[in-house]
Structure 1
């Protein structure tokens, strides 16, 4: 641990700009109960640099010396089972001071490494079952940092959420039952282009900041100069900012001391509650995180009372990522309304009586109009693409895609997924050894400690893992789809499917059938906003190359399965079923039959959303033919 503590990173105070992100990180350093920070932004904007630099300004904490869980020696409610037993016996717990640090959670982490597992070495030497602490043990009372948090596997995210929600990590492994506190500052960073974050994890972050590179040439030049200087001589560069770093640490320590004494007026509380309600934010974490953040900001500034400015800054950090009713709505800029004149804040504006008097006269109208305009701008984003509710399709349309874990595969000897059993290895390949089961197997076969494992004793894990899925949307935007506004219905269905693909964490691709041949508008991606923008801008008109769309689907599925053989492909054809452009010069009907048979052979699940309305529909539709040959599921809009 000592070498890691002495590792030099880019100083926090040397980072140019990013004031909002810096403020958010300092706030959670002052009060970890805020719930963590999510940094969102494009690659190369300094997100990871900010988090790692935070380690320099984090204060020291008192821990129980020798405890791997960093237990608080002053508070029995923050002790592991072992330390609590010693405390109950009246034993004097040894105290050591340790600097808080940033613990990285790699995306490749296994569930055993995250929560802890059996200590195999101690089992071999002493024949006793003991616990090997995991990353959650290291992170207790420290910072847990997840880079690219949106790419974290579901089963890892679920365990992480359980620990973050309860503040405790409970370990049940091979007859061992143990629990320890897991109260950490959760910090995540992500690039939205690589996929959205699950709503359950997004709401777990108390604060969210958009991080972007500065567009001021002078600032960008200064960034380059500082980075070059740091790379040439890190030690001298760090010493240059050492005094600033120490001042920040002292500022955090003092803020922690006065934090319990910070007060906030009822007027500001009422203003916050009204704003949250009028914005339609449903989670109570919004007010809780905002108040804690406002108090932390006041504490960082050395004040004992929260001001309106503190509250406004806190709202900008704690509310925007909670404004969405739908996954892809872009939140508006936070412009909270001004409250009525508050005597407690007037002492800072003694020389602006006339200006304050006018503000007081308009405060009520500003409050109602400000919230109303914010709400109106926010809701108007829903009108871009028609909303098609699932009740229009029938009872079985989207119900099969609600769970994010319905598509799973069993993997053997592969370290991804939840372990469910064990087996002897096949073909002599050993990648995912279940050490405990291997040791038990050796003991049952007569071996005694110290145990030397042979190949016949080794057992590998059997795991359940989420199967990778690709959703391909085939959107018919030919001239016939303009009849009775079918294209509006089709785009609404496509948008709904993208939202469900986001919930499933599936890759989504868009194929558009229009003109002489179909075109892949969006290749497989997890950038769902990109798919939605493409759907909105799809033009309408021309002939219907249905055969070409199905052929492109087959080619796309084949190409993606070369990358991952376990990929499950689901296709969603949104059409009126009419086709008038042959692909190979054959009869269109014969082509569609051949392509439908190929879809079945390739195990591509086809779902058809028939946009034809009731009454007479002139022209031939191939929906029934696809349903029969490809065994497709058909839904009527």
Structure 2
């Protein structure tokens, strides 16, 4: 936990570093570490009576509780730690306006939200990767601008909202949106120690705390006071720390060498290196500070797709730091610094770059594992070893028909509380959220004379006049992949293409904020490889390891899909499923086996789940069994080459045309 502790303390010294994202397995005390930070932060000066924690030395001129004149009193209070729950509403985050009072009485009644409470403090989000997209957008705006805005039909409130953003997440439950990922200054990967003595000490301290919390706190009070005093001393030293031209060249060279997007990484690294020097009690940034800053600021910015694991090539980092140490930027490639180059006399400056380029070509040329049954190191007889997937590509959009009410996402049409566009107006069933101004005025206009309104008087509004917006946007779905891994699919070239197609669909599911699940069927049974989850990264790992071979228990695969959807519907009833069956349609065995597969398809279709069949049949003779399955499932059959977004083949993007029963059920609903 040393690296996490350091990252949190650096942000305490210099909040401009930009916060910390903590990635780690469950049960590793991520939340405990973050909550402990608040007790170490120094108190802040605030304007008395200000709900927005304005600094008396520089009050916010747009503060809703202002203007704060020089006569305003001031006091001090502890730095706040505000926790943002995953299921929080938008109004709770940004605050809420009483629209009824604003329209009827002209009173701007504003209740501050969590972004106001977090100003000049810490905003902590546990399970940040599960946060809904519209809340992520609000956080991005506040983090970028340092202000929060509430706009409702011409009534607006804005206030300062600068906070230290700290998030924790378990990567097994899904990844974070790239836009929010980049907003975290630093990232730390943690895991529970495997050392028995250290684990025993953790348990011992936890039991001691539970037995007597006050005595436990008193035991460590002196160390915490010393740590808090060190934070204050480092803050005071921070303005005196010098970032030399050499250190700055190293920072920018490292960011360029690792090809990070934009310049935010350079700025974060510079601030982190300065904070490291101040924390060590120095006024000069050293090469070791730059290296540590790179290890904290760059790993999460190196991801190129959702299946890449964050991390840095340490040898490449060291070579870049050495190459740009203590030399003038106008010099040639040779290192003329006083300590000499790493290659010795006559080594030349181009060697590090040559060495960095070497391993990549060799790694990419590794041979594929032998898939011949019975060979050494291969899969058991009758099976083929896993093969690598083809390169993923952008796929066509597959949607669930109708209009849902699920979690906000980017796949299928849905009624949403935020985002999207307004489709109609309706009477509010609870508190008025999003006023439909035109509909409200239209409803109130015919009654003005009866209510005694005269010319020049305010509009006479009553509760029954108010209308709110009904908005339509996009939802995330449960995409359940049912993959045929039998012997008829086991031809190496074809299975590589099939895995490439599924991998492409997995990437599409990540971008559209779907949950995914994966079933494979081969031999004599079907297996749930991946229970429904938001971790597309886990789905890609299961896919890469999928072996093939054996018989084709098609009916078992469809029945397993039916059971998986039944259980998931109990857990998440609003999330609509999309079944993606990847097969050539052949059911091994007698005619009875094919009849069983047909009955299983009819049973799955009866649940109302939308389906699409990816037809993997190849060769000059086609039996058309996948097309027959698609008809029974009330969905289209799509050939592998039709999945590409740039394909010239016509792919129907919605499934409504082939599912009349689904349209009927939607009308009935």
Pick the TM interval, shorter chain: 0.7 to 0.9
The SS at the match of 2:517 is strand
- How far 1:595 sits from its partner (Å)? 4.6
Cα shift readout 1:162-209 (whole Å, capped 9, x = no counterpart): 111221111113542111111110000111122222222211111110
- How far 1:127 sits from its partner (Å)? 6.9
Superposed, 1:219-298 pairs within 5 Å as 219-298=198-277
User: Distance in 1 between the 2:342 and 2:78 partners?
Assistant: 47
User: Distance in 1 between the 2:615 and 2:521 partners?
Assistant: 15
- Of 555, 559, 568, 2:567 maps to 559
Runs of 5+ unmatched residues, structure 1: 1-17, 345-354, 448-453
- How far 1:119 sits from its partner (Å)? 5.0
Matched with 2:9 is 26
The SS at the match of 2:40 is coil
- How far 1:390 sits from its partner (Å)? 2.9
User: Distance in 2 between the 1:479 and 1:60 partners?
Assistant: 68
Asked whether the 8 Å contact 1:63–1:73 carries over to 2, the reply is yes
Change (3 A) 1:142 1:159: same
User: Distance in 1 between the 2:367 and 2:573 partners?
Assistant: 38
- Of 24, 30, 36, 1:41 maps to 24
Asked whether the 8 Å contact 1:341–1:360 carries over to 2, the reply is no
User: Distance in 1 between the 2:544 and 2:433 partners?
Assistant: 53
User: Distance in 2 between the 1:378 and 1:74 partners?
Assistant: 58
The SS at the match of 1:406 is strand
Superposed, 1:434-583 pairs within 5 Å as 434=432, 467=475, 469-483=477-491, 485-581=493-589
Matched with 1:390 is 393
User: Distance in 1 between the 2:103 and 2:341 partners?
Assistant: 79
Matched with 1:12 is none
- How far 1:400 sits from its partner (Å)? 6.6
Q: CA RMSD in A?
A: 3.9
Runs of 5+ unmatched residues, structure 2: 328-337, 369-386, 401-407, 453-461, 642-669
The SS at the match of 2:568 is helix
Change (3 A) 1:435 1:325: closer
Q: TM-score, normalised by structure 1?
A: 0.80
User: Distance in 1 between the 2:291 and 2:20 partners?
Assistant: 17
Q: Which moved more, 1:21-30 or 1:416-425?
A: 416-425
Matched with 1:451 is none
Matched with 1:626 is 629
Q: How many residues end up aligned between the 2 structures?
A: 583
The SS at the match of 2:3 is helix
Matched with 1:15 is none
The SS at the match of 1:241 is helix
- How far 1:572 sits from its partner (Å)? 1.7
Structure showing the higher helix proportion among its residues: 1
Superposed, 1:178-257 pairs within 5 Å as 178-257=157-236
Matched with 1:605 is 610
Superposed, 1:127-138 pairs within 5 Å as 128-138=107-117
Asked whether the 8 Å contact 2:411–2:476 carries over to 1, the reply is no
Q: 1:80 and 2:88 equivalent?
A: no
- How far 1:518 sits from its partner (Å)? 2.9
User: Distance in 1 between the 2:226 and 2:111 partners?
Assistant: 38
Cα shift readout 1:277-309 (whole Å, capped 9, x = no counterpart): 232322322222111111111111121111011
User: Distance in 2 between the 1:516 and 1:626 partners?
Assistant: 20
Cα shift readout 1:448-485 (whole Å, capped 9, x = no counterpart): xxxxxx99899998666864521111212222223361
Q: 1:62 and 2:45 equivalent?
A: yes
Superposed, 1:369-448 pairs within 5 Å as 371-372=356-357, 385-390=388-393, 397-398=396-397, 404-410=409-415, 423=426, 432-434=430-432
Matched with 1:636 is 640
Cα shift readout 1:402-454 (whole Å, capped 9, x = no counterpart): x943335337xxx89899787557xxxx7x4338979x99999979xxxxxx9
Asked whether the 8 Å contact 1:331–1:378 carries over to 2, the reply is no
Change (3 A) 1:519 1:244: closer
Q: 1:586 and 2:592 equivalent?
A: yes
Q: TM-score, normalised by structure 2?
A: 0.77
User: Distance in 2 between the 1:473 and 1:436 partners?
Assistant: 38
Change (3 A) 1:318 1:257: same
